[in-house]
């Protein structure tokens, strides 16, 4: 599962398209640009994307209008001609655009002439094919664009035996053609194969020549966040945000305020409001105050914005007062920052941010501070709908904007879905009340890093044991009897005690006694050791309140420690399913992170002891017993019994005595993730589905 997630590498569309934003890059170009893995064939997701966004039958991979990205948000790494290099030993390939003939010119740089000439002499190369996804070129032997041979240095030309057509190009309109460092000419065929496609090189050049010129918005119907229009006499804006969160109030609340001052220090207008709860944080309320204030300004304003939030200043210089960088998309509130960029551009604003000390005697700062705080309690206010963001592209989840690191967001979705998948597995439904298990803690203990570290150290067998133990997939006799009834007679009992069916739980409760091997005795000893270790850890951990004298006695009285005979919650804990009775008892005294981190490692060690002292011993015994029954390894692997073609999910016996079973609905993860957006924090804290369990028909399909 972890591997799937690790390989669940996400790309932004902007990374996969040409710098001009209108064409999908070919897989070959993406590889050359190192934006995708250099190994393997074209993956299915790329073909899917191709069919989704590329215009049908477009030879040059032009993409549908709705997927085009403005060139202000695309990736373009342009290299210019390095005039300090020796062109003979370090050939530089270049592309330029002739504005008179409206044609591209690809060539090799022969030499450059520094200022004031600022020109390069390049040889002319012609694409071998009209398909600009290719990158094969042959040397032009003379054409209309060529300069007379007499006007160039004969010594230079002599050093270019393959080339026959030369021209002077302004350095300003010339960029490097992206190719491997040493791309040489095949002298016999007078041809060269450059790394990137001609289409990509053209797009890069067009971006360089035309994209930096920002055109004024053609559409006058501009979206607005603020419905206030300040007069042009506004000189300074004081802004502030306010954030209240539990426990001071039931749900977190964000508000903002600004006050506009003219050059004489008179207040022109003040405004305050609450903000709809999306990724609530103090910083978000500050950023929103800035956004709303700027959107209230008239065009071409030159103003100073005063804030007491130092972080706002540093983010401003990083994301607004600078060219667009991709790192912004990894920030929380990137949609707000993006909207601020849009407003700055559309209104042609000249803004300087200054820092004023917080809670000092700046009366205007105290004024906006008080306004923002007052907004929380003003019942007449209604927040702006979140859809009024002005970012160029907005990813939505369940119609909520995803204003956080998108990769991390997708990872969260994956985690939420995998936990749900685990919880609705039919094998857990045979317990009549799965809500008695603390799933979040169970998943934490199973996924801890130590387990995966040990995996790398060659203890993968043990990792497999832990997972199979949790899922009841260990090859016990009852499992084998179900899977291969023609080899394992269904009437056979536990080979050790010959008194009970050998189920998973029987592994620990088998009454078989040998001087050196007694499963039940070993199990009791290990469980007692686990209990003692836990108790020691909790007694020395920092607790939320002083531990009462009765803590140790109450902890040891929990029914998950009852092992003679083992209680249901004891058997669950043994499998790695943390009983909710355990975490609820501990939750009175300790925070969840403390509980989880203490439960984690001793449980891992407990499982390792079970593995070595019970499972491995039992498996050696079992192997000899199988041989005695005439069951060989070959029979086990080759025999295709009548039942082995059945889907594994249908082999799982379901407790038919349980009339109806509670399960989480399969789309619970949507509400967990939505809840993360609205209330903030990790999705794992929003696992409220157990509290509103509904009785549903038993799920019979396996989602594993
Ligand atoms: Zn030519
Ligand atoms: Zn037994």
Q: Supply the DSSP string of 393-414, one letter for each residue.
A: ---EETTEE--S-HHHHHHHHH
From 494, 467, 469, 465, select the one nearest 480 (Cα to Cα).
494
CA of 130 to the centre of ligand 1 (A): 16
Locate CATH 3.30.420.10 in the chain: 234-399
CA of 605 to the centre of ligand 2 (A): 24
Q: Which residue has the tokens 């790329």?
A: 46
CA of 464 to the centre of ligand 2 (A): 23
Partner residues linked to 258 by β-bridges: 239, 271
Distance between CA atoms of residues 461 and 598, nearest Å: 24
Q: Which token pair is 589?
A: 């005294």
Distance between CA atoms of residues 453 and 464, nearest Å: 14
DSSP secondary structure letters along 507-561: HHH-----SS--HHHHHHHHHHHHHHHHHHHHHHS--SSPPPTTHHHHHHTSGGG
CA of 468 to the centre of ligand 2 (A): 20
CA of 114 to the centre of ligand 1 (A): 24
pLDDT tens-digit readout, 449-472? 454 444 444 466 787 788 888 877
CA of 102 to the centre of ligand 1 (A): 15
From 460, 459, 422, 456, select the one nearest 441 (Cα to Cα).
422
CA of 155 to the centre of ligand 1 (A): 20
From 174, 195, 197, 215, select the one nearest 23 (Cα to Cα).
197
CA of 618 to the centre of ligand 2 (A): 10
Residue 486 has a pLDDT of: 86
CA of 517 to the centre of ligand 2 (A): 12
CA of 189 to the centre of ligand 1 (A): 17
Among the bound ligands, name the one nearest to the CA of residue 518.
2
Helix, coil or strand: residue 235: strand
Distance between CA atoms of residues 697 and 681, nearest Å: 33
Distance between CA atoms of residues 283 and 242, nearest Å: 9
Q: Which token pair is 14?
A: 């902007």
Distance between CA atoms of residues 157 and 227, nearest Å: 67
Q: Which token pair is 704?
A: 């594993």
The fold of the 234-399 domain, in CATH, is: Nucleotidyltransferase; domain 5 (3.30.420)
Residue 428 has a pLDDT of: 58
CA of 608 to the centre of ligand 2 (A): 21
Q: Are strands 234-244 and 302-307 parallel, antiparallel or unpaired?
A: parallel
Phi/psi for 237 (5° steps) reads: -115, 125
Helix, coil or strand: residue 109: strand
Residue 551 has a pLDDT of: 93
Among the bound ligands, name the one nearest to the CA of residue 146.
1
pLDDT tens-digit readout, 240-274? 999 988 777 777 888 999 999 998 888 889 999 88
CA of 115 to the centre of ligand 1 (A): 26
Residue 221 has a pLDDT of: 44
Residue 241 has a pLDDT of: 93
Among the bound ligands, name the one nearest to the CA of residue 163.
1
CA of 178 to the centre of ligand 1 (A): 21
Q: Please list, in sequence order, all residues whose beta carbon lies within 8 angstroms of the beta carbon of residue 494, skipping any fewer than 6 positions away.
A: 477, 500, 501, 502, 506, 510, 512
Residue 656 has a pLDDT of: 33
CA of 525 to the centre of ligand 2 (A): 18
Among the bound ligands, name the one nearest to the CA of residue 124.
1
Q: Which residues in the chain come in under a pLDDT of 70?
A: 1-11, 86, 88, 148-152, 211-223, 379, 381-389, 392-393, 418-435, 448-460, 637-669, 672, 681-704
CA of 29 to the centre of ligand 1 (A): 26
Q: Which token pair is 233?
A: 């006499």
Among the bound ligands, name the one nearest to the CA of residue 139.
1
Among the bound ligands, name the one nearest to the CA of residue 517.
2
From 653, 655, 506, select the one nearest 566 (Cα to Cα).
506
From 77, 112, 108, 76, select the one nearest 94 (Cα to Cα).
108
Among the bound ligands, name the one nearest to the CA of residue 167.
1
């Amino acid at each position: 599962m972890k591997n799937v997630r690790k390989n669940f590498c996400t790309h932004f569309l902007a990374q996969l398209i040409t710098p001009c934003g209108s064409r999908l890059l070919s897989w070959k170009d993406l590889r050359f640009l190192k934006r995708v893995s250099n190994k393997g064939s074209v993956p299915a997701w790329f073909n899917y994307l191709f069919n989704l966004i590329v215009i049908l039958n477009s030879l040059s991979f032009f993409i549908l209008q709705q997927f085009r990205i403005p060139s202000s948000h695309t990736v373009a790494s342009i290299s210019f001609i390095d005039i300090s290099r020796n062109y003979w030993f370090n050939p530089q390939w270049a592309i330029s655009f002739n504005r008179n003939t409206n044609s591209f010119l690809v060539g090799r740089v022969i030499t450059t002439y520094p200022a004031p000439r600022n020109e390069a002499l390049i040889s002319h190369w012609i694409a071998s094919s009209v398909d600009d996804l290719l990158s094969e070129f042959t040397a032009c032997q003379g054409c209309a664009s060529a300069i007379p041979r007499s006007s160039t240095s004969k010594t230079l030309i002599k050093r270019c035996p393959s080339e026959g057509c030369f021209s002077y190009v302004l350095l300003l309109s010339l960029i490097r053609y992206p190719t491997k460092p040493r791309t040489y000419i095949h002298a016999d065929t007078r041809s060269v194969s450059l790394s990137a496609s001609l289409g990509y090189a053209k797009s890069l050049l067009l971006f360089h020549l035309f994209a930096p010129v920002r055109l004024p918005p053609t559409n006058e119907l501009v979206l607005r966040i603020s419905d206030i229009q300040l007069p042009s006499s506004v000189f300074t804006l004081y802004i502030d945000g306010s954030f209240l969160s539990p426990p001071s109030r039931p749900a977190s609340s964000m508000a903002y305020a600004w006050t506009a001052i003219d050059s004489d220090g008179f207040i022109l207008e003040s405004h305050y409001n609450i903000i709809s709860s999306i990724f609530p944080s103090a910083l978000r309320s500050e950023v929103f105050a800035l956004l709303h204030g700027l959107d209230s300004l008239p065009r071409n304003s030159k103003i100073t914005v005063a804030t007491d939030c130092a972080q706002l200043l540093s983010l401003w210089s990083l994301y607004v007062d600078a060219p667009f960088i991709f790192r912004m998309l990894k920030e929380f509130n990137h949609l707000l920052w993006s909207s601020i960029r849009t407003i700055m551009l559309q209104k042609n604003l000249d803004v300087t941010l200054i820092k004023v000390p917080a809670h000092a005697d700046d009366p205007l700062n105290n004024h906006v501070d008080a306004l923002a705080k007052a907004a929380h309690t003003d019942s007449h206010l209604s927040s702006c709908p979140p859809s009024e963001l002005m970012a160029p592209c907005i990813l939505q989840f369940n119609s909520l904007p995803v204003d956080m690191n998108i990769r991390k967001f997708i990872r969260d979705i994956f985690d939420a879905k995998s936990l749900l998948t685990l919880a609705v597995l039919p094998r857990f439904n045979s317990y009549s009340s799965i809500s008695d298990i603390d799933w979040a803690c169970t998943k934490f203990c199973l996924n801890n890093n130590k387990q995966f570290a040990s995996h790398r150290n060659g203890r993968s067998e043990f990792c497999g044991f832990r997972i199979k133990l949790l899922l009841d997939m260990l090859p016990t006799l009852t499992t084998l009897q179900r899977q291969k009834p023609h080899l394992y007679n269904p009437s056979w009992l536990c080979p050790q005690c010959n008194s009970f069916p050998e189920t998973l739980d029987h592994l620990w409760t088998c009454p078989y006694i040998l001087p050196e091997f007694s499963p039940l005795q070993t199990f009791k000893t290990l469980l007692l050791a686990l209990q003692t270790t836990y108790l020691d850890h909790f007694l020395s951990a920092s607790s939320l309140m002083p531990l009462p004298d009765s803590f140790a006695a109450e902890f040891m009285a929990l029914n998950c420690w009852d092992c003679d005979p083992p209680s249901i919650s004891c058997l669950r804990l043994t499998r790695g399913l943390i009983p909710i009775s355990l975490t609820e008892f501990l939750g009175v005294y300790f925070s969840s992170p403390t509980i989880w981190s203490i439960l984690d490692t001793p449980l891992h060690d407990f499982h390792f002891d079970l593995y070595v002292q019970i499972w491995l011993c039992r498996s050696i015994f079992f192997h000899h017993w199988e041989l005695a029954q005439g069951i060989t390894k070959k029979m086990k692997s080759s025999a295709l019994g009548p039942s082995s073609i059945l889907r594994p999910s249908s082999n799982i016996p379901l407790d038919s005595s349980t009339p109806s079973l509670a399960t989480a609905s399969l789309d619970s993860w949507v509400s967990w993730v939505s809840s993360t957006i609205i209330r903030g924090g990790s999705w794992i804290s929003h696992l409220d589905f157990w509290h509103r369990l509904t009785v549903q028909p038993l799920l019979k399909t396996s989602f594993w």
